Chain A
Amino acid sequence: MRHWSRIIGATAAVVAVSLPVLASAETLTIALGTNVNTLDPHMSASVGTDLSVLSHIYPSLVIRGPDLKLQPAVAKSWKQVDDLTWRFTLVDNASFANGEKVDAEAVKWNLDRVRDPKVNARIKAWFDLVKDVKVVSPTEIEVTTSAPYPAFADQLSMFFLLPPQWAASHKPATETLSGGRYELAENVPGDHITLKANPKWWGEKPAFDTVIFRNIPESASRVAALLAGEVDLITSIPLTEVKRIKDSGSATAGSVPSTRSLFIKFNTQKPPFDNKVFRQALNYAVDKQGITEAIFDGAADVSQCQVLSPNYFGFNPDLKPYPYDPAKAQQLLKSSGVDLSQPIALDVPTGVYLQGTEVAQVVADQLTQVGLNLKISEMDFSTYMNKYLRSRELAPMSVLAQAWPTIDADGLLTLFAPGNQYAYWDNAAFGKLLEQGRSTTDKAARQGFYTKATALMCEEAPALFLYVQPATYGTSKRVSWAARGDDWVRAFDLKPVQ
């Protein structure tokens, strides 16, 4: 039932957005929880802040719409010529504010820049499979990859184009030259960034003349700013605040499922988590539904025994969560032969996941009730990541939420592939299925492989599957937002309310 109302709501939002709107000289203010750090679109992989702001200034080949589907931008169409070749046809009227054309040469220059080891681009990893970029004509470009890269077009929605000639004599980290809907008007580091509509923008005129991104780190202060009428859009607020905003009547709020699933990762390479029955037992011992209802007011969806949320390509609709069954859990724990008295560490990163530390305490409590001896240790995210990737000492259990920006199983599931440094799980059959999924670009065939892979992962339980994180937001009554769960915060997804 909840699903239906959400789908209807989302559809209504999309319809509302697609209605023609009179252009008005309005200012839109958006609050961001974290700081915008750099203006160089190749020097940040942070979609929710840097890339969102830069998506107003720089053009991209494709963009991802509020419905999470790819839409044309500089590329008016694209197709896969074969498993290893992509061809993009570009619009012919796109240009930067200095007159530089956004043409095939410019695209090639950007793809070369991001892969240049000397540039040390932060997003280089996204393009490591790109082997060759060939300019066919000013409006035609062909990219060859060294292996099939089915999500390449999706990846390009996070890749913004700099003006090549301008970049030769300017510093993109601090300077900008617009080729998008807006241009930079003011940047007060740590406080706000003001954008003005780009008069030379080659597309449809945006609805807001001025867009201000304000940095408000404290969630209570973001809510206050919304209620005081200072900002029009806020995100990442606790569910209790969603309710308060709705009750206040002076603004609206809500949530949509995000693309990020929260789970408890097991270090299956060390006892006792090398024991499959033990891992399954833990999945039975936690009341996922109860957690989503109590802590998220029902706004979080229980994970369907996989790390993919329904938005992902490759999502397996046939899987069902492990039921909450403490008796069965205890029985499995017994048959697993694991000594339950041993202390087991549960690492919890603080300050990164919406209400994540609360969830960790509830899970720990429920696992304690079936007889485990759990010890929570909280730590800051960088210490956590250091254990995860650098010193490679992932705790037996750790709270983790992962998403993949292309919203494709190839990517998110790869983080569990054997040999992958993120995995801490070594299952050859799973790895084989992922390889097969990547070896073709045929959608039905790929879906088949991922259906098998997710089913295997559910059965093997390398994690305690919990829920899909809700993406919470609040908007002023002046605007409507096509709420989305994939971190993008863009002025052109908002429309003034008449």
Chain B
Amino acid sequence: MKAFLRALVQSRGGLFGILILMLLVAGALLAPTLGLPDPVRGDLRARMAPPTWTGLFAPGAHPLGTDQLGRDILSRIVYGSRITLTIGAYAVVLGGIVGVMLGIVAGYCGGITDRLLMRLVDIQLAIPLMLLALLVVAALGPSLTNLVIVLALTSWIRYARIIRGQVLALREREFVQSARTIGASTAQIMLRHILPNVMTPALVVATLELARIIIMDAALSFLGLGVQPPAASWGRMLAEGRVYISTAWWVVTFPGLAIMLTVLSVNLLGDWLRDYFDPRLRT
């Protein structure tokens, strides 16, 4: 553990990533204690007030400006992070676990299992997201859990396809073959020999998916799935500010930057983790 932390502190990227991420999580957890303005009730007269840095800590100051209903954007970003980070984390992890597992199974077992799973992927890809979202709202009702389910459903296929391709090549490799000859079980081979070797692409897909999921959240909340107003999520803030993009740039730009910062920190951390755990790099 000590070695792990020392390595983390010594790597510039990893440290930066974890610091930003910790800051975001701390902001989310401590939001109510930060003395921010009310994130859901605005002052209509102060609609779309531009960012001001004078009297930063005075009451009524809006360092990132206000939105189309006069709500403080900084406060909405901080409160919104609670929803966005939760949804993002759950959907990425859930989609990732399911996708990686099925990808390994399809690639390693091949044959009818592979064909079945891959046609399932085709079917899933071809069904429009909007239809899927409307179906879930109608059948299961709107809730954050259902939102995560839909997001994970759209997500697992990417992991599955990419991991499967990787596994198709891996299973013919010497170390897998020899594991098989010495009598390792299928499950053992998948877990011990295949899984560690597909972690790199899985991590990259996960960071790509994170950005996609955060932005996609908005489209789904307009269909009634997920965050409903006046609550904020970053995706919603982006989408609601869309029509004001050329008249009040700050309304969309700051939530956009928040998303970018999150994705950046996760990327940096992911890159570092990969290097750290890569057995071939450790000497």
Contacts and interface: CB of A to CB of B under 8 A. Distances in A.
Q: Which of A241, A244, A376, A379 has the most CB of B within 10 A?
A: A379
Interface stretch (B107-115, B221-229, B272-280): B221-229
A372 B107 CA distance: 56
Contact of A219 (B224, B240, B243): B243
A378 B246 contact: no
A250 interface: no
A360 interface: yes
A291 B44 CA distance: 8
B231 to A, nearest CB: 9
Interface stretch (A156-164, A313-321, A361-369, A439-447): A361-369
A414 interface: no
B233 interface: no
B68 A358 contact: yes
Contact of B228 (A224, A244, A351, A378): A378
A253 B201 CA distance: 52
A238 B243 contact: yes
A238 to B, nearest CB: 5
B244 to A, nearest CB: 6
Contacts of A244: 246-247
B28 to A, nearest CB: 23
Contacts of B223: 350, 378-380, 383
Given A380-B222, A383-B134, A383-B137, A364 B247 contact: no
Interface in B239-276: 240, 242-248
B44 A379 contact: no
Contacts of A350: 222-223
A291 B130 CA distance: 32
Interface string A344-368: 0000101100000110111011000
Contact of A365 (B137, B142, B230, B245): B230
Contact of B45 (A223, A240, A294, A375): A294
Contact of A294 (B44, B224, B230, B242): B44
A292 to B, nearest CB: 11
A241 B221 contact: no
A362 B68 CA distance: 11
A383 B247 contact: no
Contacts of B228: 375-378
A9 interface: no
Nearest to A380: B223
Contacts of B221: 378
A241 B68 CA distance: 13
A157 B142 CA distance: 43
A351 B228 CA distance: 15
A223 B243 CA distance: 11
B138 interface: yes
A60 B228 CA distance: 46
A410 B84 CA distance: 49
Given A361-B69, A365-B230, A378 B138 contact: no
Contacts of A358: 68-69
Given A223-B246, A244-B246, A361-B230, A378 B44 contact: no
B229 A240 contact: no
A327 to B, nearest CB: 19
Contacts of B130: 380
Contacts of B212: none
Contacts of B242: 220
A290 interface: yes
Give the interface SS of chain B, mostly helix, strand, loop or mixed: loop
Contacts of B47: 294-295
Given A223-B246, A294-B44, A377-B142, A362 B137 contact: no
A351 B221 CA distance: 12
B41 interface: yes
A383 B228 CA distance: 16
Interface in A217-234: 219-220, 223-224
Interface string A200-232: 000000000000000000011001100000000
Contacts of A241: 243, 246-247
A290 B229 contact: no
Interface in A149-195: none
Nearest to A247: B247
Nearest to B247: A240
Interface in B112-158: 130, 134, 137-138, 142
A240 B248 contact: yes
A378 B229 contact: yes
A240 B142 contact: no
A383 to B, nearest CB: 7
Given A290-B44, A383-B134, A362 B246 contact: no
Contacts of A377: 142, 224, 228
Interface string A368-392: 0000000111111001000000000
Q: Which of A295, A376, A378 has the most CB of B within 10 A?
A: A378
A379 B243 contact: no
Nearest to A360: B229
A378 B248 contact: no
B229 A376 contact: yes
Contacts of B244: 238, 240
Contacts of B224: 377-380, 383
B138 to A, nearest CB: 7
B137 A379 contact: yes
B80 to A, nearest CB: 15
Interface in B172-198: none
A380 B220 CA distance: 10
8 contacts: A220-B242, A220-B245, A294-B47, A365-B40, A377-B228, A379-B223, A380-B134, A383-B224
Given A294-B70, A379-B224, 17 more contacts: A220-B243, A224-B246, A238-B244, A240-B244, A348-B229, A350-B222, A357-B240, A365-B230, A375-B228, A376-B229, A376-B230, A377-B142, A378-B222, A378-B224, A379-B223, A380-B224, A383-B223
Ranked 3 nearest A-B pairs via Cβ: A294-B44, A379-B224, A240-B247
